[in-house]
Structure 1
Amino acid sequence: MSGGIHTAFDLSFTHTEGRWARPGSWIGRDFPDVRMFQEIAVTAERAGVDLLFFGDGSGIPDTWRGSIAPAVEWGIQWPRHDMSPIVAAMAGVTSEIGFGLTYSSTFMHPFYVARLLNSLDHVTSGRIAFNVVASTRSADAANYGFDELMAHDERYERMAEFIGVCRALWRSVEPDAILRDRATGRFADPSKVHPIDHRGRYFSVKGPLSAVPSPQIEPVLVQAGGSPAGIRTSAAFVELAFGFGGSVAAQQRYRTALDEALTAAGRDPARVGILWATQVIVAPTAESAAARRRDILSFWDEEAVGAHLSHNAGFDFSGLPREFRLGDLAERIRAAQATPGGLVGMLVDTYGEDHRISRADFFEHGWRHATGLDHTLCGTAESVADALEENFAATGARGGYMFSSPLATPSGLADVAELLLPELRRRGALAPRSAGSTLRERLCV
C-alpha cells in the first residue's frame, strides 16, 4: 500500500443520534434527500478524500428491553436505507472519490450481491468497495427469517463461502469475452463465459454472472472482523481492513494479528492497509472545539444509550445486576452468539476480566462510548494532525483513517475537509494521489 495517510468519511450515521437537529445541520433538507449526499461527495472529493463509506443494518434496534420504542423515539441508528441508489447519484457529480457499501454475508445471497456490485462498479467507472459483514444483530436476523443468531464461527464460515462464490461469479465472464463485432453480429465469445457450478454448505450457484465484466472486475474487498475467526477469514481476501480499538496497544495487537493471518494465508501484509475508525471534532480554536464537544452531551439519556449499546452488542444490557465481573458479562454475551467487542471488549482490555464493575459505572462508560467521546480527537487542525501522525506511525503506517463526526451534518465533516485535511496535506502526511482510474489503483496499490 502506498505510503502516507489515506482518508475516508463514514457516512453511516450522518442523520441519527441527534445530528439532524444540532447547529450546523441542513435547513430545508432531510434524510434521505439525495442532494445532501451529493453535496458531501463534492466537498469530500475536492478535499482529496479517498472513500465515502456506508455501514448498514436492516433492523430497527430492539435489543434494549426487547422494544424498538427507544430507538424510534430518539433516532438511534435508525432510519437506515439501502444506499446503493444514493451512491449512483453521488457518482454522477464526482469523478475520483470511491464508495464503500455494506452487505451481510449472513443474510444475503452472493449472486444478488455480486450482480448489484458489478452494476455499481460500471455506474461509478470502477470506484466501488464492498464491506462484507458477518451480522451480529437480532433485529436484522428477524427480518430475514432467523429466530436466533447464527453461531459466531459459523457466520465466518458462511462469509468465506459467500466471498468465494462472489469472486468466482465476478470472474466467470473473462474481460475479453465481449466482442461487439458489428460486422458479424457476434456479441461475445461463449468459450470465455463459464458457469461456476458451485455447490457448498450454504449456497448452490450455477452461474455465470449475467453481466459484462466491470472496470475493477471485482470491487475492493473490505472487512472489519476483530475476532480470531473474523481475522482468519478476512485474511484470505481482504484488501483493506477497517480497524477499531480504544488504545494504541489494542490497535497494535490487531495489526499484529492481521499481519500474522495474512502471512499464514500466503499474502504480503505490507499490501493490506487498515483504516482506523476515528471520530473527530475540529475547530479553529481549542476552546470552540471543546464547546462543540460539550453540546453533544445534551442529547443522550439512559434509554438512548441503552438502545445504542445493546443493539451494537446484540445483547440486552437492561438486565445487568447492581455489580458484576467483566469476564462473566463477556461470557454471557458470547453464549448468546452476540459480540463481546465494542464497549465490553474495551473494558476487558483496559481493566481485565476479573475486574468488578457497578451497573452505574458501566453505563457511565457506555454513555461516553455511545457518544464516541471516549475516543474522539478534539481540538484544532494542528493538534488533531499531531495526534494522527503519531498514531499512524505507531500502528504500522499502512492505511489511514475513516473519519466520522458526532456534530451536525454537514458542518462536522466540512470542518474535517476544510481544516484538518489541508493541514495534513501541508505537512506532506497524506498519501500521494494516484494516477490510476479505479478505486483499487488509488487506494490499494
Structure 2
Amino acid sequence: MHLALDLSFAHTEGRWALPGSFVGRAFPDPRLYMELAQVADRGGIDLLFFGDGSGIPSTWQGSIDAAVAWGVQWPRHDMSPVIAAMSTVTERVGFGLTYSSTFMHPFYVARLLNSLDHVTGGRIAFNVVASTRLADAQNYGFDQLMEHDRRYERMEEFIGVCKALWHSVEPEAILRERDTRRFADPAGVHPIDHDGEFFKVKGPLASLPSPQVEPVLVQAGASPRGIEASAAFADLVFGFGANLAGQQRHRRALDEALVAKGRDPKRVGILWDLQAIVGATDEEARTRKQAVLASWTEEMVGVALSHNAGYDFSTLPDSFRLGDLREEVIRANATPAGLIGLLVEEYGEDHLITREEFFEHGFRSATGVDHMLVGSAATIADQLEENFAETGSRGGYMISSPLAFPAGYVEVIELLTPELRRRGALAEREPGQRTLRDVFAS
C-alpha cells in the first residue's frame, strides 16, 4: 500500500492550539512544512497533499463570522510556493496540489504545474476538483454554483486542454546545439488550437517539457458523474473511507467505468481518506481522541458541514425526510454526496430524521470520527491490512491527523510506517523510480 499525508487542514479547527503544536512559529511559515517534509521523506511517505478552497466558509447562516471566529477551514493559502520550498529539502516524497477546474483557466494551471514539476524534479500531482462551494464561486464572479454535471463537463475539457499543452512541446525538439547555437526544432513545437465549449486556447505552452511531462492526475468525485470523469483521465483516485461497503461500491463502479473507457483497472489505485490517532498504546490513543472531540463546538460542526456540502444546514426544520433534503440540495446545485449520500444509503430516502439526529451524524462527519482509526501502530496496521485486501489491494491511504501539527503526523510517520514496513505491507521505492508517476504506476 502507498501512504499519503493530507496536510490541508493541519493548521485549522484548533489544531494550532493543541499540545504538540509548533511553538514560536505559525501558519503560513514554510519552515513548518519543510521540517515535516524531511521527516516524511525519511519515513517513506509517498505524497504530501494539499486540498484547497479560495473562499472563507460562509454557507452557515450566510456569514463568514463563525468560520473566522473558530478558524474552520480557514485561513487557506496557495501552497505552490510552500511545495517549492519543501522540495528543496527532500529527495523522494511527492507533492499534491489542488486547483478548481470550475473556476481556473487551464493555460495558467498547466504552466504553473509544469514549472513545479521542474522545480521538484518530477514529484508533482495535480488534484483537479469540481467546486461545490459558493464562497469560492463568488470570488470568481459567479452568483450561484454551476450545475453538477456541467462542472464535470468543464473538468473534462479543462484536463484535455492541459494535456494538449503539456504535450505541445516534444522533448526531442529541445536540441541545445552549442556549435550551431540552435536551441530547438520548430517542427516539434505545436499550437493546440483548442476551441471548445468552455475554453479557447491557441498554445503551445511556452515552457520546456517537465520531467513527468504530465503531473500525476488525481480526482475525487464519488457521484456516478464524478466516477465517470475519474475513469476518463485520473491516474489516482481519492475515495472516502467511511465504511467498507461504500468503499467496495466505489471500487466496483470505478473498475466498470475504467473498462468502459478502455483502461486497465489494475493501474488506477484509490487512496482512501481517513484520520488516524496513533499512540504508544491503544489506551493512550483513545485518551487523545476524546481530547480532540472535546475541542469542537456545535457551531464549528455546522460551519464545516454547510461549507463542504454547499448548503446551509442552519435552515433545517425540526424533522424531515432524507430524500427531501437530498432533492433540495440537488436543486441548489450543491453536493448530495458526502454525509447526505451516506445517510440515504444507510437509512433510505423515506427515513424521517430529526434535526438533532442529523447533527449527531454531522458531528461524526465533521470531526472525522466516522473514518478515524485510533490505537497503537499494531492495531491500526491490522485494520489497514484487512481493509486494503477487502478493497482491492490497489492504492492505499490518505491519512490526516486531528491532533496538533506536527506531532500527530510525526507519530503516523515514526510509529505506523515502520510497523507496516516490518510486515511487508508498505510499497517501497525501487532504484529506477525517479518520478512520482513511476512510484504510483508500479
TM-score in terms of structure 2 length: 0.99
User: Is residue 219 of structure 1 aligned with residue 215 of structure 2?
Assistant: yes
Corresponding letter in the other structure for 1:279:
Q
Shift of residue 298 of structure 1?
2.1
- Secondary structure at 2:370 match in 1: coil
Q: Which residue of 1 aligns with 2:48?
A: 52
Distance 1:41 1:200 in 2: 40
- Secondary structure at 2:152 match in 1: helix
Q: Which residue of 2 aligns with 1:349?
A: 345
Corresponding letter in the other structure for 1:161:
E
User: Is residue 291 of structure 1 aligned with residue 272 of structure 2?
Assistant: no
- Check the 8 A contact 1:236/1:265 in 2, yes or no: yes
User: Is residue 438 of structure 1 aligned with residue 435 of structure 2?
Assistant: yes
Distance 1:426 1:199 in 2: 53
> Equivalent of 1:106, from 72, 92, 102?
102
User: Is residue 92 of structure 1 aligned with residue 88 of structure 2?
Assistant: yes
- Check the 8 A contact 2:44/2:428 in 1, yes or no: no
Distance 2:229 2:5 in 1: 25
Shift of residue 434 of structure 1?
2.4
Cα deviation code 1:362-411 (max 9, x no counterpart):
11111121111122100011110000000000000000001101000001
Cα deviation code 1:46-74 (max 9, x no counterpart):
11000000000000000000000000000
Structure 1 segment 312-323 matched on structure 2, within 5 A: 312-323=308-319
- Check the 8 A contact 1:434/1:441 in 2, yes or no: no
Shift of residue 185 of structure 1?
1.1
Corresponding letter in the other structure for 2:88:
G
- Secondary structure at 1:53 match in 2: strand
Q: Which residue of 1 aligns with 2:13?
A: 17
Distance 1:43 1:205 in 2: 41
> Equivalent of 2:26, from 30, 33, 36?
30
Greater mean deviation of Cα atoms: 143-152 or 294-303: 294-303
> Equivalent of 1:420, from 408, 416, 420?
416
Shift of residue 31 of structure 1?
0.3
Shift of residue 442 of structure 1?
1.1
Cα deviation code 1:327-355 (max 9, x no counterpart):
11111111111101111112112211111
Number of corresponding residues: 441
- Secondary structure at 1:276 match in 2: strand
Distance 1:161 1:375 in 2: 33
Corresponding letter in the other structure for 1:311:
H
Runs of 4+ more than 4 Å apart: none
Greater mean deviation of Cα atoms: 51-60 or 294-303: 294-303
Cα deviation code 1:17-38 (max 9, x no counterpart):
0100001100001000111000
Distance 1:280 1:346 in 2: 21
Shift of residue 278 of structure 1?
1.1
Cα deviation code 1:238-293 (max 9, x no counterpart):
10000004210000000000000000000000000000001100000111101100
Distance 2:30 2:358 in 1: 39
Q: Which residue of 1 aligns with 2:265?
A: 269
Corresponding letter in the other structure for 1:300:
W
- Check the 8 A contact 2:128/2:217 in 1, yes or no: yes
- Secondary structure at 1:168 match in 2: helix
- Check the 8 A contact 2:3/2:47 in 1, yes or no: yes
Q: Which residue of 2 aligns with 1:198?
A: 194
- Check the 8 A contact 1:245/1:346 in 2, yes or no: no
Greater mean deviation of Cα atoms: 224-233 or 429-438: 429-438
Shift of residue 432 of structure 1?
2.5
- Secondary structure at 1:184 match in 2: coil
Q: Which residue of 1 aligns with 2:375?
A: 379
Corresponding letter in the other structure for 1:277:
D
Corresponding letter in the other structure for 2:95:
F
Q: Which residue of 2 aligns with 1:138?
A: 134
Shift of residue 219 of structure 1?
0.2
Shift of residue 163 of structure 1?
0.2
- Check the 8 A contact 1:53/1:99 in 2, yes or no: yes
Distance 1:172 1:204 in 2: 15
- Check the 8 A contact 1:133/1:223 in 2, yes or no: yes
User: Is residue 43 of structure 1 aligned with residue 39 of structure 2?
Assistant: yes
- Secondary structure at 1:180 match in 2: strand
Shift of residue 124 of structure 1?
0.2
Q: Which residue of 1 aligns with 2:253?
A: 257
Distance 1:116 1:348 in 2: 40
Corresponding letter in the other structure for 2:92:
E
User: Is residue 400 of structure 1 aligned with residue 409 of structure 2?
Assistant: no
Cα deviation code 1:143-184 (max 9, x no counterpart):
000010000000000001000000000000001111111111
- Secondary structure at 1:236 match in 2: helix
Structure 1 segment 44-83 matched on structure 2, within 5 A: 44-83=40-79
Shift of residue 134 of structure 1?
0.3
